[in-house]
Structure 1
Amino acid sequence: MQRRGFKMKKALLVTHVSGFVPQFEMNNVRILQHMGYEVHYASNFHNPSYGDDNSRLEGTGIVCHQIDFARSPLKIENIIAYKQLKHLMQTIHFELVHCHTPVGGVLARLAAHATHTGPVIYTVHGFHFYTGAPIRNWLLYYPIERFLARYTDMLITINEEDYQRAETFSAKPVRRIHGVGMSLEKKDILLGAQLTELRKKLGLEDSDFIIVSAGELNKNKNQIMVLKALSEMETQNYCYLVCGKGPLKEKLETYVKEHQMQDRVRFLGYRKDLENILQLADLFVMPSMREGMPTAVMEAMKYQLPVVGTNIRGNRELIVEGKTGYLVPLNDSQEMAKKILDIMDHPSLKKEMGERAAVKITEYSSELVEQEMLKNYKEVIAAYKQGST
């Protein structure tokens, strides 16, 4: 029970899409609540991204504030969002601001600076400028992030490439954590009969080699690379389960029909039971063009799956070449096909890679990341208080 006259400290989380906190940041919410903070969340709740985003916030104790963020940083609507954020910070006294996502990170730091709100933490879940990124990304995002670093009391990265780049900015300190925290608990372990029932429900043959990917069906997630790789394989002894929804679904389905792969590819949509699907799988694929620290890969590794992924930031830290899976050049569908076939043809290799993957992922456990974030919160709060006196 709150003591009479006692004012609870308030922390503000900011993202431009409302699904981000329930999907990735609930560990941080719990840490802040245990530290005595009332957690507020500013986002666009009319723009869900991960299924039933908003309903997952119910019963969490989080106070939500609608901010009309646009997804694109170039949209004029973000001027309105900035004014809304500024008004929120002027109306409610926040003792901590923790922002995520590019648009949320930009507007939150500008608003916090304008209203003298702090300290401000920005967690980078993958800079849009990265090794191999289009020059447009460097011209647009790099100057913005470098400039805003001066309004950042702590900048946190989740992979090594971003950490090394952020170290050159004026934000001090820069910290690196091991992703967003992966629960190592395996939920709803399926027994033999349950696995058989699920295979039947999905129309899978007992002899099928099950390949799975998970993520929004968009250009960045690059599922077309997997389809091209599979179309080049002579064997038909597989089934590719595509988990996720998104704007490119129709285009991907058209490719499947044109290459007569309808019997070998299933579009499953957004799956709340992804962990059940992973228990069926033999291999996970991650063909993305850009990642920060892919949680889908981490989930797959937890279930002892080898991973074939593109040789990009994030994937490189999780997939140990030849040990927990294979890294292939971006959009090299022929090389991806070779690596898929290698694992298909060598069951003992698949088993060994999967076992090593499950060991590797313990480095990214929720317990470890929670310890890192608790330390980071305490550090930035103490430094801010000291600087304010």
Structure 2
Amino acid sequence: MKKMLMVATVPSMIGQFNMNNISILLDLGYEVHVACNWNDRSVWTQEKVDNLKNKLNDLKVKFYQIDFSRSIFDLKNHFESYKQILELTNKNKYNFIHCHTPIASVITRLVCKKSRIKCIYTAHGFHFYKGAPLINWMIFYPIEKYLSKYTDILITINKEDYNRAKNSFKMKAIEYIPGVGVDIQKFQLDDFDRDSYRKQLGLNKNDFMILSVGELNTNKNHQVILKAIAKLNNPNIKYMIAGKGNLKSYLIMLSKKLRIENQVTLLGFRKDIAALLQSSDLFAFPSKREGLGLAAIEAMASGLPLITSNIQGIKDYLIEGITGYSCNSNDVNAFASNIKLLYENQKKRKNISESNKKFVKKFDKKITEKIMKDIYFNALLNCGGSRKK
């Protein structure tokens, strides 16, 4: 039986973005193995990790511990991870490897180079992009350009990354997919009691709810929305964030400092994202970097207007005044102005809602699944597993 290995730094990348890929590979007759750092808790709870392991066991997918670190400076761990992946590939003789996340993919492609194993790499948003810090270009760009020579298929999920890689890198093939795909129907709830759910969330009839979904970290940039809300001085505007992360204490402290603590709720990890979206009036996505931004696309599927930063993958779906409004990621005044605009203009919100329900169809998971099946089948199923010397 043909074997393949799926590699990522953390379990969430497998559980959130690759279960459909695993199903496709199993249907194509592959024995699928998964490798990541199962001990990492920076994104997922122990419960979610255990649930993923149970799902993989049910699918008869083997999984392995690799001591990946998320820090680019943890050279000792990177070397250990390299040895672990190399040992795994020597033992299992994979036909190909599909890797994700920057650090894991650097290490894995070096192993593929040494072992002459075919490699697919999905870039979920390069760290170098228009407007990125110079340090990102100095570190990540030369590494990605060099390793592109040892990448059989590079998959990009936004057009900026696709065009840059196509023009500057040396991978054997490049593909564009519209993200990992969204189950659109899941977010268009029928017979949803919006008023009742909002009441459970502690919202009054006149409250205007802004929602963000994502890890509480520097990149997600939730603090800019807090500052924008404070500037508006409107107690009816409420902000809820679904997610966990190491900036929780900072965001609580900042909301108190800005005297908007009664308008801000940190919801933690939630399983009811579709219901939260349906209960909201506006979706805020002010990230400093996004490969595409699944959370915002899910919000579009729910019919929510967007206010976003104007960077990288977000540009693929943020059409000014049509699907929402964008701002420089650090422009508090612009975010405040756009929140005020949509707060005051119900007709505009309704028009954007209808536009988003139509526009989001191009990100339907059925489209992505078909592209991935073609990539796996046409590019790899009919060729040997080793790269020629």
1:41 aligns with 2:34: yes
Shift of 1:247: 1.0
1:19 aligns with 2:12: yes
Shift of 1:388: 5.6
The AA in structure 2 aligned to 1:223 is: H
What is the number of residues matched between the two proteins? Answer: 380
Partner residue in 2 for 1:81? 81
Shift of 1:200: 2.5
1:299 aligns with 2:298: yes
Partner residue in 2 for 1:135? 134
The AA in structure 2 aligned to 1:80 is: E
1:107 aligns with 2:107: yes
Shift of 1:188: 8.6
Shift of 1:199: 2.0
In structure 2, what is the Cα distance between the partners aligned to 1:383 and 1:189? 42
Q: Is the CA contact (8 Å cut-off) linking 2:187 and 2:302 kept in structure 1?
A: no
1:157 aligns with 2:150: no
- Is the alpha carbon distance of 1:375 and 1:190 closer, same or farther for their aligned partners in structure 2, counting shifts above 3 Å? closer
RMSD of Structure 2 on Structure 1 (CA):
1.7
The alignment partner of 1:216 has SS state of coil
1:50 aligns with 2:41: no
Shift of 1:165: 1.2
In structure 2, what is the Cα distance between the partners aligned to 1:59 and 1:174? 31
Partner residue in 2 for 1:4? none
1:68 aligns with 2:64: no
Partner residue in 1 for 2:220? 221
Q: How does 1:212-291 map to 2 (within 5 A)?
A: 212-291=211-290
Q: Is the CA contact (8 Å cut-off) linking 2:155 and 2:174 kept in structure 1?
A: yes
In structure 2, what is the Cα distance between the partners aligned to 1:369 and 1:64? 25
Percent identity of the aligned residues?
38
Q: Is the CA contact (8 Å cut-off) linking 1:188 and 1:276 kept in structure 2?
A: no
In structure 1, what is the Cα distance between the partners aligned to 2:211 and 2:188? 19
In structure 1, what is the Cα distance between the partners aligned to 2:308 and 2:55? 37
TM-score w.r.t. length of structure 2: 0.94
Q: Is the CA contact (8 Å cut-off) linking 2:67 and 2:81 kept in structure 1?
A: yes
Partner residue in 2 for 1:3? none
- Is the alpha carbon distance of 1:252 and 1:190 closer, same or farther for their aligned partners in structure 2, counting shifts above 3 Å? farther
Partner residue in 2 for 1:201? 200
Shift of 1:234: 3.1
In structure 2, what is the Cα distance between the partners aligned to 1:147 and 1:264? 48
- Is the alpha carbon distance of 1:57 and 1:131 closer, same or farther for their aligned partners in structure 2, counting shifts above 3 Å? same
Partner residue in 2 for 1:326? 325
In structure 2, what is the Cα distance between the partners aligned to 1:314 and 1:138? 17
- Is the alpha carbon distance of 1:358 and 1:122 closer, same or farther for their aligned partners in structure 2, counting shifts above 3 Å? same
Q: Structure 1: where are the runs of 5+ without partners?
A: 1-7
Q: Is the CA contact (8 Å cut-off) linking 1:13 and 1:40 kept in structure 2?
A: yes
Shift of 1:196: 3.4
- Is the alpha carbon distance of 1:345 and 1:322 closer, same or farther for their aligned partners in structure 2, counting shifts above 3 Å? same
Deviates more, 1:279-288 or 1:73-82: 73-82
Partner residue in 1 for 2:342? 343
Provide, for residues 11-59 of structure 1, a one-character-per-residue CA deviation record: whole Å limited to 9, x for no partner.
1000011111111111111110110011110100000423413412413
Shift of 1:235: 2.3
Match of 1:30 among 19, 23, 48: 23
Higher relative contact order (CA 8 A, sep 6+): 2
- Is the alpha carbon distance of 1:370 and 1:210 closer, same or farther for their aligned partners in structure 2, counting shifts above 3 Å? same
Shift of 1:270: 1.2
In structure 1, what is the Cα distance between the partners aligned to 2:123 and 2:188? 32
The AA in structure 1 aligned to 2:27 is: H
Deviates more, 1:179-188 or 1:24-33: 179-188
The AA in structure 1 aligned to 2:175 is: R
The AA in structure 2 aligned to 1:362 is: K
Q: Is the CA contact (8 Å cut-off) linking 1:23 and 1:50 kept in structure 2?
A: no
Q: Is the CA contact (8 Å cut-off) linking 1:220 and 1:288 kept in structure 2?
A: yes
- Is the alpha carbon distance of 1:103 and 1:247 closer, same or farther for their aligned partners in structure 2, counting shifts above 3 Å? same
Q: Is the CA contact (8 Å cut-off) linking 1:153 and 1:380 kept in structure 2?
A: no
The AA in structure 2 aligned to 1:30 is: S
Shift of 1:384: 4.3
Deviates more, 1:228-237 or 1:121-130: 228-237
The alignment partner of 1:212 has SS state of strand
The AA in structure 2 aligned to 1:216 is: E
In structure 1, what is the Cα distance between the partners aligned to 2:227 and 2:382? 52
The alignment partner of 2:244 has SS state of coil
Q: Structure 2: where are the runs of 5+ without partners?
A: none
In structure 1, what is the Cα distance between the partners aligned to 2:70 and 2:121? 18
Partner residue in 2 for 1:126? 125
In structure 1, what is the Cα distance between the partners aligned to 2:327 and 2:165? 27
